[in-house]
């Protein structure tokens, strides 16, 4: 635990992680572990995501970073795939993109196998350069050769290698055997090699080019080229050559029809939009692909929208293209067609989007990556609905526990933070439907005569909040106060002063009393109207919600208090300098960045700040360094 994280923040973070793990699907995919500063420090793959990630917290994994997960981990993202092989390839592309700190063994791709094919050089003196071969390598190099892969497993690579050698008749022997052999080998005798070791092969370079097109999955131009060559050979009465080309075409057509051999995610720059909808809820998953690899995922949720799906998707695509106009892709793959008007609008609004091509793929690699995005959108929507149903159930249980007349949709919690009676701050955090509504958070500066007195500070905050609620008619369903009966009495006096009946405005006030182990009492909710105590059961959803709201109030209050202390410490030093007004103090802080930089600056450096002359620079320097006077 770092010094900047309070025990309450740590407990809240670990609870969120446990919830996140339990919500993972039991399907293949990749998971990304993020630290508290948002960086990805580990990426892994799994046949069953939930079971794999859960194993990190079982204590059986002895790796160093796993032992530190409680301190490192802040969030877990995931991306579902169709098969474990797809998860392997996706893991590789994500690691290459993000370069996580703890994926050391995979950064150089040493665990992935590729196919290497050098370019045929007909003017070379060595046979190995004139007649290159297709070979298996583990570490691609910058040697001018072509590399294909990675392959999900050795079996898939061997099948590809065997088919390529049998179809395109490239040599299979090593370089030293090629240079020294005097008679054809067995492969040449059975018709699987052209035997460049003992005779010149005029069309070997053409075979290398055809093989390159095959490995790049350029099926249509390859078949067209081979068909043209076959008819040309037949017209020239080179029937043996035409027969070989015919056999090649038939073999390739059979292979390309078998879609199971094409297990990559696509070969182009594209943004892929997966769309899922249930009633008014919509979830969109965006997969950004560059050079055939997934480099980024984005989730967009829309609640309670009556608009048709084409309009909703158009809005998401338009917003996405606007935010990423500097990296406009070649294709935008969509689950259904957008109207021509929407397409023109997206292109006209953003100059870099003019080259966009909208497409609804029906087959091939693009259709499979679109299906992947769709599955992830459906899964995310299901999980969001499950969480929302769980939050609704928790709020209903809270209503039953407190005997409220309605479900507490809006809950406000208050906390006081002070240090030796100075810079006292009060926090107001708001939860709507069980989710933090951070736009409604408020911070209150406590007046001097109440600073240091928690009861007076709490009364001041609630008095100001209730007065605003009377003007705006914005009472919450539940006021949550961090404290027991003494704090509750202080709050209720405010309602009595304002002559407000809580039942009339539809609000309630509840306090959170801490556990007292020496008395054998657990955490509980207390109320003075009526005078009741409501115990919070261990590991109950209601208890977790209440503790989460209270911890968030603590965090926000401490954060605001620290900001106030830092601001007052800067003012206390600069305010005492004669001739330094508010504008010049602001200019100094903006120019140097911090009070420490101002203290470390000499007189000449201080004069570089706009508005600070030699006389004032001397006054500032002498005031901040009294020993030097």
pLDDT tens, position by position, 16-41: 888 888 888 888 888 999 888 888 88
Report the CATH number of the 575-628 domain.
1.10.150.20
CATH topology of domain 410-559: Nucleotidyltransferase; domain 5 (3.30.420)
Q: Which residues of the chain have pLDDT under 50?
A: 1-3, 106-110, 258-267, 353, 628-629
How far apart CA 422 and CA 519 sit, in angstroms, is 33
**Of 29, 75, 72, whose CA–CA distance to 50 is shortest?**
29
- Quote the CA–CA distance of 49 and 448 in Å, as a whole number: 55
Can you point out the beta strands (E) in 102-198? 113-117, 134-137, 146-151
Q: Alpha-carbon distance 347 to 359, whole Å?
A: 14
What local confidence, expressed as pLDDT, does residue 264 receive? Answer: 38
CB 505 within 8 A of CB 479: no
pLDDT at site 396: 92
* 73 phi/psi in degrees, rounded to 5: -80, 130
Fold agreement between 270-383 and 410-559: yes
pTM of the model: 0.55
φ/ψ of 522, rounded to 5, equals -100, 175
Nearest C-alpha neighbor of 112 from the set 293, 375, 256, 297: 293
Strand 357-359 and strand 40-46: pairing?
unpaired
Distance CA 608, CA 619 (A): 15
Q: Domain 7-106 carries which CATH code? A: 3.40.1440.10
Predicted pLDDT of residue 553: 86
Q: Which fold has domain 270-383?
A: Nucleotidyltransferase; domain 5 (3.30.420)
Q: What is the pLDDT of residue 411?
A: 92
Dihedral of CA 94/99/102/107: which sign? positive
The domain segmentation of the chain, as residue ranges, is 7-106, 119-261, 270-383, 410-559, 575-628
With residue 287 as reference, give the H or E element that holds it: strand 281-290
Instruction: Of 5, 2, 1, give the one whose Cα is nearest residue 554.
Output: 5
Q: pLDDT tens digits for 113-127?
A: 777 888 777 777 787
């Amino acid at each position: 635990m770092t010094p900047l994280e309070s025990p309450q923040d740590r407990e809240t973070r670990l609870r969120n992680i446990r919830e996140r793990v339990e919500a993972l699907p039991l399907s293949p995919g990749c998971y990304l572990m993020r630290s508290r500063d948002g960086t990805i420090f580990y990426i892994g793959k799994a046949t069953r995501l939930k079971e794999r990630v859960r194993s990190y917290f079982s204590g059986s994994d002895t790796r160093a970073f796993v032992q530190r997960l409680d301190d490192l981990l802040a969030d877990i993202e995931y991306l579902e795939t169709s098969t474990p092989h797809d998860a392997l390839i996706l893991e590789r592309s994500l690691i290459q993109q993000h370069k996580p700190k703890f994926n050391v063994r995979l950064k150089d791709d040493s665990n992935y196998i590729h196919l290497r094919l050098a370019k045929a050089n007909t003017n070379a003196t060595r046979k190995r350069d004139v007649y290159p071969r297709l070979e298996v390598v583990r570490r691609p190099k910058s040697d001018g050769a072509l590399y294909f892969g990675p392959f999900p497993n050795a079996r898939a690579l061997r099948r590809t290698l065997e088919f390529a050698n049998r179809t395109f008749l490239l040599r299979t022997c090593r370089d030293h055997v090629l240079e020294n052999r005097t008679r054809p080998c067995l492969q040449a005798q059975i018709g699987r090699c052209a035997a460049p070791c003992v005779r010149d092969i005029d069309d070997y370079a053409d075979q290398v080019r055809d093989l390159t097109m095959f490995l790049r999955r350029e099926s249509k131009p390859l078949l067209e080229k081979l068909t043209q060559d076959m008819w040309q050979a037949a017209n020239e009465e080179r029937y043996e050559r035409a027969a070989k080309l015919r056999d090649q075409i038939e073999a390739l057509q059979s292979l390309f029809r078998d879609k199971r051999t094409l297990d990559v995610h696509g070969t182009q720059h594209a943004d892929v939009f997966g769309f899922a909808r249930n009633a008014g809820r919509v979830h969109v998953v965006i997969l950004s692909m560059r050079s055939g690899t997934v480099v980024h995922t984005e989730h967009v949720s829309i609640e309670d929208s009556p608009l048709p799906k084409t309009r909703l998707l158009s809005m998401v695509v338009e917003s996405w293209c606007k935010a990423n106009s500097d990296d406009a892709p070649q294709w935008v793959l969509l689950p259904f067609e957008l109207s021509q008007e929407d397409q023109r609008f997206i292109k006209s609004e953003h100059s870099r989007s003019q080259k966009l091509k909208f497409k609804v793929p029906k087959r091939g690699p693009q259709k499979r990556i679109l299906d992947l995005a769709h599955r992830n959108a459906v899964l995310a929507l299901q999980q969001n609905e499950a969480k929302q149903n769980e939050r609704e159930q928790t709020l209903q249980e809270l209503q039953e526990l407190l005997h409220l007349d309605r479900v507490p949709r809006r809950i406000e919690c208050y906390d006081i933070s002070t240090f030796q009676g100075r810079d006292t701050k009060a926090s107001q955090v708001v939860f709507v439907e069980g989710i933090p509504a951070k736009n409604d958070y408020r911070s209150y500066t406590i007046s001097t005569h109440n600073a240091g007195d928690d009861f007076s500070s709490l009364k001041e905050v609630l008095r100001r909040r209730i007065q605003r609620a009377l003007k705006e008619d914005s009472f919450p369903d539940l006021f949550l106060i961090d404290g027991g009966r003494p704090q509750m009495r202080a709050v209720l006096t405010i309602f009595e002063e304002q002559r407000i009946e809580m039942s009339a405005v539809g609000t309630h006030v509840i306090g959170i009393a801490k556990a007292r182990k020496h008395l054998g009492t657990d955490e509980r909710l207390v109320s003075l109207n009526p005078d009741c105590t409501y115990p919070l059961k261990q590991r109950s959803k209601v208890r977790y919600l209440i503790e989460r709201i209270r911890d968030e109030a603590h965090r926000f209050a401490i954060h605001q208090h620290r900001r106030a202390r830092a601001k007052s410490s800067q003012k206390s030093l600069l305010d005492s300098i004669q001739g330094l007004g508010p504008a010049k103090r602001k200019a100094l802080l903006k120019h140097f960045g911090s009070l420490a930089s101002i203290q470390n600056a000499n007189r000449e450096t201080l004069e570089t700040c706009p508005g600070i002359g030699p006389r004032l620079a001397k006054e500032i320097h002498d005031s901040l360094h009294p020993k030097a006077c």
